[in-house]
Amino acid sequence: MQTAPLPDHPQRTLPDAERIDWLRLIRSENVGAVTFAALLRRYGSAAAALAALPELARRGGREALRIATRADAEREIEATAKAGARLVALGEPDYPAALPTIHDAPPLIAVLGRPDVAADPARVVAIVGARNASGVGARFARTLAAELGSQGFIIASGLARGIDGAAHAGALATGTIALMAGGVDQPYPAENRELYAQIAERGLVIAEQPVGTEPHARHFPRRNRLVSGVSCGVVVVEAALHSGSLITARMALEQGREVFAVPGSPLDPRCKGSNNLLREGAALVESAADVTAALRGLRTLREPAGDSYRSVSAVTSEAELGAGRARVRELLGPSPLPVDEIIRQSRLTPATVLTILLELELAGRLQRHPGNQVSLL
């Protein structure tokens, strides 16, 4: 069931100099995964994008932008290696096979352990749920993970206490992937340190944040989209309303993944969110057979949903940009608006609109939202 490399992200190994440029670019101020992709698409290389950053930010209204130095990048590479991990770039053979299909795939990730466990995108299933899991919920998650593992599936989760930890523990013998909110060397919570060490030895640990980064609240939603992103389906076991597990389920739907939920007692607030997923159409799970039946025959995930890293020849003149900036800014506000709608209403070329949005984002004036939407800060 191995899938071929996606055409927009042909497999290759980055030369050392290019890896440093990639790392510098993604660690520069106001550059996220989507902006990184847009910059590479427009300028053709990270080195050219780095050179363009100051002027782009100035046009967006920002005079000084912090750009990561070569020394910064070299220190991070050295620290990552000291932690026993290494940085893998999007498009390299050890990059998780399913992850390039999400629109905001991280350009670089730190990996610790066995990258081969994430090599088949149709064989990774995420199990997530409540941190304050009930005994029954934790037992079910562990059993489900073990049964899916015995049938050749790899279990992904977020190494949190409760359902996540139980799922990892159940899949230790067959393969499990831990997605970290902080650095690859920062297991959280502390009670899962031993489990983290076992996963690092027998499975795979993945982190988007730099090594040494302690997890903060803002990191967890970013981590959640990786949990669903490395998987072909997400099983939610015990989730309260407005919980992080429901964020993972929503992101899974946006990424084109299958979403499953385990029914729970209507009297238990830990089950209100997961029961609501069933009400909204998630597939019901009472055993591993329910998951395998839905995923049987799945061989490919959908094509990349957003920007590719291929360079395009569209060149926007300064005159066109100057005439369009006021128009785009007038359309933007605090409420998210689809980029396609901005292009339609502004009657500007896509290249012009995307360049103006890049300028605003690098100036710290634009926020990106799921579904290719943006708002003005």
Residues 217 and 323 in one domain: no
Burial 67-86 (b: 16+ CB within 10 A, else e): bbeeebbeebbebbeebebe
Residues 341 and 277 in one domain: no
pLDDT at residue 318, rounded to an integer: 78
Tell me if 8 is assigned to some domain: no
Residues 326 and 367 in one domain: yes
Closest CA to 91 of 292, 304, 286: 304
Domain, as residue range, for 197: 113-295
Tell me if 5 is assigned to some domain: no
Tell me if 348 is assigned to some domain: yes
CATH number, position 129 = 3.40.50.450
Residues 263 and 340 in one domain: no
Tell me if 351 is assigned to some domain: yes
Tell me if 220 is assigned to some domain: yes
**Residue 336 three-state SS:** coil
Q: What percent of the chain has pLDDT over 90?
A: 83
Look up tokens 């101020």; give the residue.
29
pTM: 0.90
Query: Which of the pair, 278 or 297, is modelled with greater confidence?
Result: 278
Residues 169 and 241 in one domain: yes
pLDDT at residue 323, rounded to an integer: 83
For the cut 70, the answer to whether the pLDDT of residue 198 exceeds it is yes
Alpha-carbon span 320 to 375, nearest angstrom: 22
Q: Which amino acid is at 20?
A: I
Rounded to the nearest 5°, which phi and psi values hold at 157? -165, -175
**Range in 55-64, 140-149, 170-179 with the lowest mean pLDDT:** 55-64
For the cut 90, the answer to whether the pLDDT of residue 228 exceeds it is yes
pLDDT-derived band at 315, boundaries 50, 70, 90: low
When pLDDT is averaged across residues 321-340 and rounded to a whole number, the result is 92
pLDDT at residue 372, rounded to an integer: 85
When pLDDT is averaged across residues 158-172 and rounded to a whole number, the result is 97
Number of domains into which the chain is organized: 2
Tell me if 19 is assigned to some domain: no
For 307, other C-beta atoms within 10 Å of its C-beta total 22
Tokens representing residue 68 in the block: 């990561």
Tell me if 79 is assigned to some domain: no
Residues 263 and 134 in one domain: yes
Residues 176 and 283 in one domain: yes
When pLDDT is averaged across residues 137-159 and rounded to a whole number, the result is 97
Residues 135 and 259 in one domain: yes
CATH number, position 341 = 1.10.10.10
**Range in 119-128, 233-242, 268-277, 361-370 with the lowest mean pLDDT:** 361-370
